Structure 1
């Protein structure tokens, strides 16, 4: 919590250069100076800051918590971001274990997605977090599967477009179509323009619970289904199945319990969203009512597996 509060107050960035006297810093941040000094003492114990003749200064170790550190930690720790708020829902984990439902609404009064819709700053931090979460795995995802089998690919809930942009760049004959909610869809258009893909990548602003653009060769769900309980995850798969028929494929790319998903991730999906990481048999059961049959399962990274479904 000391690290979370430090990041929320912006201390690693604020103390990055010259030391700042505690009293001056407290006035600037509108916090209690005695309490701030206690926090700084503990941060010094942790090696995040160091005392200097002029005040406290961020250490090289503490600089890993800065906004521009490139590791995504600030978006996970700041309690005013989507990631930080989501992880604090763990205090209600007992509720989730008792009921099988998300802890997030119990803590905040409404579900995670309603929070994002109402607070643009939360949505922006969530989009950054989602883009960052697979950055290191992106090359393996692109080369580990023959995406070129599908001349047209719809990335359903594709976020800011990083994955689809990488796939299209590596496969010049392909065309892509990304579907996501309005503000995120606008970010995706900018991503495709920046990669010179505007002529091959279409963007539609919309929900994956609504009808999807029909007739593509494949529909990709990347880290989508584990965010939802079986009812909602089934609805998403159903939309993909109806859009893909008769010959299109549905591609699910995420962790698979008992294979490439850890127990911590499952608890996070439960507490924040009311979802979970599923086993292969659970994916089969989820897909069957929509006429989908699991054709193959390919391990792409040490965290994610690609499940290819065809119409049965």
Structure 2
């Protein structure tokens, strides 16, 4: 049976040891790839209107549904739940914490990263740090519950707001994980400027994003374009965005076995 699954590309075999392939991972319950695949029907529906994007530069999804992708998710709980399961699966908290030392910071601000899984795991390791999750009102409420469940309410809180308007929190570390690829350059600059406004001389901005140029990332790049008018970026593109708001790249880390980079940015002098 196992070798039959190998022939179907669901398993790999190496010296009588079997492992799940990327294709086979789609069958795993709660796997983030499976959730993303189920969400892809929304992408395909938007892609039917790709001609509108080519002609106008506007979002194909918004043209098809009459609202943004994220607004649509809020109207359909089944898709919204899949989206958050996918984000939880993408967290890779252990890889990030192993690669980057957050314990040196007094106040860590996680901007726009859902229900706070990454920040919670960071604070469990960085036991002397404070944390704030900055999210939309509905998500911030869920994050408060998750923070309390993990016994971190004394050191961590969730603040509601809109990162396009402001990020009114004083911290010495700001995190943007898988946020910027959801937005156009113009909107990314608004987010970055609002964070830069509160950064001090020794503050760090930690951007966690995919910068790989493999086939999977390029395919996902198209999906971002037609659904949210976002895009994947290479390191040069991130450098250009940061320079426009008075920041510069200080360090780039590439944790092993993952398809993302950790970009540390500081204030330009």
TM-score of the superposition, structure 2-length normalised? 0.81
- Structure 1 runs not aligned, ≥5 long: 1-45, 47-61
- Among 155, 158, 163, which residue is 2:110 paired with? 155
Q: CA shift at 1:196, angstroms?
A: 1.2
Quote the Cα distance in structure 2 between the aligned partners of 1:227 and 1:196.
31
Q: CA shift at 1:122, angstroms?
A: 4.1
Pick the structure with greater CA Rg.
1
Sort the Cα spacing of 1:101 and 1:298 in 2 relative to 1 into closer, same or farther, 3 A.
farther
RMSD: 2.8
Sort the Cα spacing of 1:117 and 1:207 in 2 relative to 1 into closer, same or farther, 3 A.
farther
2:148 is aligned to 193
1:205 is aligned to 160
Q: Number of matched residues?
A: 246
Q: Is 1:308 matched with 2:258?
A: no
1:71 is aligned to 31
Quote the Cα distance in structure 2 between the aligned partners of 1:162 and 1:125.
16
Sort the Cα spacing of 1:173 and 1:228 in 2 relative to 1 into closer, same or farther, 3 A.
same
Quote the Cα distance in structure 2 between the aligned partners of 1:264 and 1:101.
19
Quote the Cα distance in structure 1 between the aligned partners of 2:95 and 2:115.
19
- Structure 2 runs not aligned, ≥5 long: 1-7, 9-23
Quote the Cα distance in structure 1 between the aligned partners of 2:209 and 2:46.
23
Q: Is 1:107 matched with 2:107?
A: no
1:277 is aligned to 232
Q: CA shift at 1:97, angstroms?
A: 4.8
Quote the Cα distance in structure 1 between the aligned partners of 2:235 and 2:90.
23
TM-score of the superposition, structure 1-length normalised? 0.71
**Deviation readout 1:169-213 (Å, 9 max, x if unpaired):** 122111110011111111111111111111111110111112213
